[in-house]
Structure 1
Amino acid sequence: MPLEFKETSQRPFPLPASPWVLKQRWDYMLFLHWPVSEKILASHIPTAFSLDLFQGRAWISIVPFLARNTRLHGLPPFPFYHSYLELNIRTYVTYNGIPGIYFFSLGADKWPIVIGAGAASFLPYHHVQMKMSVQNNTVYFQSECLGSRKMPEWFRASYSPSSPIFLPEEGTLDWWLLERYCFWVQKGSQVFRGDIHHNRWRVTEAACVIYDQTAPSFLPHHVLSDKPLAHFSHQKNVFTWPLKKER
């Protein structure tokens, strides 16, 4: 059994009874979080879901990272496509009282990942031109794609860890934002749940410089103009289960 499965007390619900189907490692992961008006975000999520709020505020996050060693259970990593860049834009919702993540978009820089992951998860994957480089202790990341309004969306930033590694404490905003173990997606009239697992987040604060940002284009630009709360994770092994239909 992977070591990650010995650490489950952080989960708000039990591990799935069935075996996981996909494993990958997330490297050089940056979490940028902004508080957003509930009224602004509510119109952009399906009515089946309720915005999850922390102390009365909704949040949106932008998450760039490098996925590595992607493989199916019992098989070696995918040839040629086990490693790719990804950029997620997400918020936090509940369904039937169960907390999870709702993805506005997921960008990946390799077409087979976009097609395969989108078909398997019903998530809004898009092909995005992205680059990442690491110099000394700093990560440089940039992406460009057409947004939801067919307008160019840019995200260019550099980031690095800026504090000792810490474990977020239960009940804090850090914990609330990070310790999420499923995502919710609606396709037609049906709601699906995707379960994931990893051990507790070990993160640092992040020093981040955003050079250019027009993503997400569906929000007014001023919404993300304030300095975000930022976390950095060097690497994390993540396990994924097949979608489960809820209704």
Structure 2
Amino acid sequence: MYLLIILTMLVSWGIQWRLKSKFREYSQVGLQSGLSGAQVAELMLADHGITDVRIISTEGQLTDHYNPTDRTVNLSESVYAERSAAAAAVAAHECGHAVQHATAYSMLQFRSTMVPALSAVSTWMPWLLLAGVLLINRSVIPLGIGIALFSLTTLFAFVTLPVEFDASRRALAWMDKRGIVTTQEHGMAKDALWWAAMTYVVAAISSLATLLYYVSIFMSGSRRN
């Protein structure tokens, strides 16, 4: 179990490095259509009849995200201003989430319903897990509660996967249909989004491995008690 956790950490580091490398590479390729990330986002929202979502620039690298609470597509400074295949892919992907929201995509709705519960338990869960491990020879109850709460975060990580893949699918299909990217640029955009998606896949596997680790401790403690 320890080996699996270490392996997922190493794979996660490798994918993060590869993702940043791909974005640096594709950011050097100018988009033939000449559109910036912000302009791509504006077009995609307009084409889907979405008029109540704002597009704003945010600090940092790869900090792009869609916020369903305040209805904003947040693009990192480079993505917002750049006119590259990478910027177009990221901007369209985040707008893909806005389209999911507007069309009541079921998996996004399910994930959104989990957020309040996760926010409520996130503060106490690490302490319960720690206390559960330390007190395992006395009682398995604290660890059992911690595992139950941690399982919510693991479920959330796996629910996130179809949401992310669907947003990328919507983004690529729209860019092709709208003529935003050439065939070569499509390949770059698809590759960049694939590596981005892999970070979520590894995060889900890592969460599952950690959950199984705590379950193994719980089972061992149950047998002793």
Q: Give your verdict on TM over 0.5.
A: no
Q: Larger strand proportion, structure 1 or 2?
A: 1
Bigger radius of gyration, 1 or 2? 2
Query: Which has the larger share of helix?
Result: 2
- When normalised by structure 2's length, the TM-score is 0.25
